[in-house]
Amino acid sequence: MSVTFAAMLDKEFKYYIDHQDELVKKYNKKFLVIKNESVVKAYDTVVQAISESDKTLGAGTFLVQYCESGDTSTTQHFHSRVTFA
């Protein structure tokens, strides 16, 4: 059975959602690197978070999540000018 990349990081995303309120109090407006259901480090930019974490943790083994209150950082919106009849 193969595991998708997204499924591998489900537990890290769930950790963020479950602890969002406390994480916002500590890391508001930072990019969190989450691995094994804990915050490894917080960065000011997503570029820093990815490049530094790739070196020490290995690509594809961690989640980078922007930390803020509400669901803005966990929701994606897609817009299209395509219409269906």
The sign one gets for the Cα dihedral 19, 65, 39, 61 is positive
Query: Residue for token digits 């919106």?
Result: 77
pLDDT tens across the length of the chain (85 residues): 445 556 778 999 999 999 999 999 999 999 999 999 999 999 999 999 999 999 999 988 999 999 999 876 666 555 566 666 6
The pairing of beta strand 63-66 with beta strand 38-43 = unpaired
In the DSSP assignment, the letter for residue 12 is H
